[in-house]
Structure formats: C-alpha cells, structure tokens
C-alpha cells in the first residue's frame, strides 16, 4: 500500500473532495485529521462503515485506481 499512500498524500488537496463524496460518512474533522494518510483513512472507514482492515485497504486502493491513473493496479 506504499504507492497508494504516496499518491494519496501527494494529491490530498486535489482528491479530498472526491474522498468525501465516495465515503459520505466522513466528517470535515476526519478530512482535516486524515491529511492524506492512508492508514488513518482505513481506520476511519473501519469505524464509520464497519469494514475490516483488509476491506478498507482494498476499498481505498480500488477507489484510488479509478481516480488516479498513476496508481498501481
């Protein structure tokens, strides 16, 4: 997930609105706190959506692959 984290952190300001659209249960405070940190996003998705760790990471990776062509598949 290292490449996913690098992409998410590097493009956080561009992508955070789309992240909020995808996962509407995230609050503005969540978005500020996350600041592009993949592990923290996975943790918040686990809390808000009841995902397991692997599912949260897969959801993030799949979402990012759709929104950033430089993300590895």
pLDDT for 69: 64
In this prediction the pTM is 0.83
pLDDT tens column, 4-57:
777 788 888 888 999 999 999 999 999 999 999 999 999 999 999 999 999 999
* Domains of the chain: total: 1
Distance CA 17, CA 36 (A): 12
Cβ contacts of 45-51, under 8 Å, gap ≥ 24: 48/23, 49/23, 49/25
Task: Give how far Cα 1 sits from Cα of 7, 11, 38, 47, 73, Å.
Answer: 10, 15, 8, 20, 11
Q: Is residue 72 part of a domain?
A: no
Tokens of 35: 């600041």
| Domain CATH code at residue 41 | 1.10.1470.10
Tokens of 9: 């952190």
Query: Could you list the residue range(s) of the whole structural domain that residue 27 is in?
Result: 2-67
pLDDT for 31: 93
CB distance 6 to 63 below 8 Å: no
């Amino acid at each position: 997930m290292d490449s996913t984290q690098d992409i998410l952190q590097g493009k956080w300001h561009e992508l955070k609105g789309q992240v909020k659209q995808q996962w509407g249960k995230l609050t503005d405070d969540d978005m500020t706190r996350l600041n592009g940190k993949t592990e923290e996003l996975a943790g918040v998705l686990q809390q808000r959506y009841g995902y397991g760790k692997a599912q949260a990471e897969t959801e993030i990776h799949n979402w990012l692959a759709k929104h950033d062509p430089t993300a590895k598949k």
